[in-house]
Amino acid sequence: MRIRASLATATVSGAVALTSLVAPAAHAADSPAGTAGKLAAAPSVAAAPADDVQGDTKVTKVTVNADTDLVVGVGKKTFNIYVTANDPSGIYTAGAFLWHGTTLDGDNPDVDGVLATDQEATCDKWSATAATCKITITVDPAGDLYDSSLNGRWNVSAWAVGNDSDYIQKNTYKNHWVKRAASFSGFNASPEPVTKGRTITVTGTLNRASWTYLKHYGYGSQSVQLQFKKAGASSYSTVKTVTSSSSGYLKTTVTASADGTWRFHYAGNSTSSAADAYDYVDVR
């Protein structure tokens, strides 16, 4: 058991140690003051091991954030990773973390972001040879996502250790998207109520979180759909597409025809989440 525990501890410590590498000088001015202290305090051990396997331990499935994009605003966000693994002797433990960069290999890994935890996984050993382990990670954009350029595709590293001390480590088991939260503010469809045949003016502002400055800013030049769901209906239909101004502001008009809910729908992109805003209008 001592050998197995040492393997697990070394892998977790390696992931945590990578945080000491994730504040490139080019972004130093954007990093919050608290980040420097956090990085300096990281364990002084080797980075996470490269792809490696000993014996017949296998990782068969990794699920990050319920297989949905990890969307982070300007506050802390907690998510789970589930690692399923098997070994003829049974699974001792398993783990995973997210990393941003080009490689974990070698003595000089190219990594500028890590989302990890130093807490042990909790494992459901649902057979004599297999288990699914839950890893809970809390992301603090004030330190973990110190620059908005970290939005986009991340790598998922996963590992598992068997009861017989066999193990497997995969630097990039899969990829996962980490996106900045988008939202609407000031959304309004007016007047309310409105006479049938009259004009309804729909306004609002599309915003996006900045991890660099920990604020929300207007998100310009984005296509937003104006959609309508008639009272009693079960789905929305797209009426028109509007493009946000440089400050994220949106304004358009439609003709009142029936009671229902108007919605601005932003589909998101590779760096930003989807967003919706709603307003019901009574037509008389």
Average pLDDT over residues 106-123: 91
Q: Quick check: do 2-179 and 182-281 share a fold?
A: yes
pLDDT of residue 72: 98
Q: In 196-259, where do the E strands start and end? A: 199-210, 215-218, 223-230, 237-243, 249-255
pLDDT of residue 104: 87
pLDDT of residue 15: 52
Average pLDDT over residues 173-198: 97
CA distance 267 to 276: 9
Segment 191-245, tens digit of pLDDT: 999 999 999 999 999 999 999 999 999 999 999 999 999 999 999 999 999 999 9
CATH 2.60.40.730 fits 182-281, yes or no: yes
Residue 177 in contact with residue 69, Cβ under 8 Å?
A: yes
Consecutive H or E run containing 7: helix 2-17
pLDDT of residue 50: 60
Segment 15-69, tens digit of pLDDT: 544 444 444 433 333 333 333 332 233 232 234 446 899 999 999 999 999 999 9
Its CATH architecture, for the domain 2-179, is Sandwich (2.60)
- Structural domain spans, the chain: 2-179, 182-281
- Return the minimum-mean-pLDDT range out of 106-115, 181-190, 267-276: 106-115
Name 250's Cβ contacts closer than 8 Å, sequence gap at least 6.
202, 203, 204, 205, 206, 224, 242, 243, 244, 264
Whether 6 has a pLDDT exceeding 60, the answer reads no
Mapping DSSP to helix (H, G, I), strand (E, B) and coil, where does residue 13 land? Answer: helix
Whether 5 has a pLDDT exceeding 80, the answer reads no
pLDDT of residue 166: 97
Whether 269 has a pLDDT exceeding 80, the answer reads yes
pLDDT of residue 108: 78
Segment 70-87, tens digit of pLDDT: 999 999 999 999 999 999
Residue 30 in contact with residue 24, Cβ under 8 Å?
A: no
Structure tokens at 2: 């001592």
Q: Which percentage of the chain shows pLDDT scores above 90? A: 80
pLDDT of residue 21: 42
Residue 82 in contact with residue 96, Cβ under 8 Å?
A: no
Alpha-carbon distances, residue 189 vs 173, 228, 239 (angstroms) = 46, 11, 14
CA distance 266 to 184: 9
pLDDT of residue 116: 97
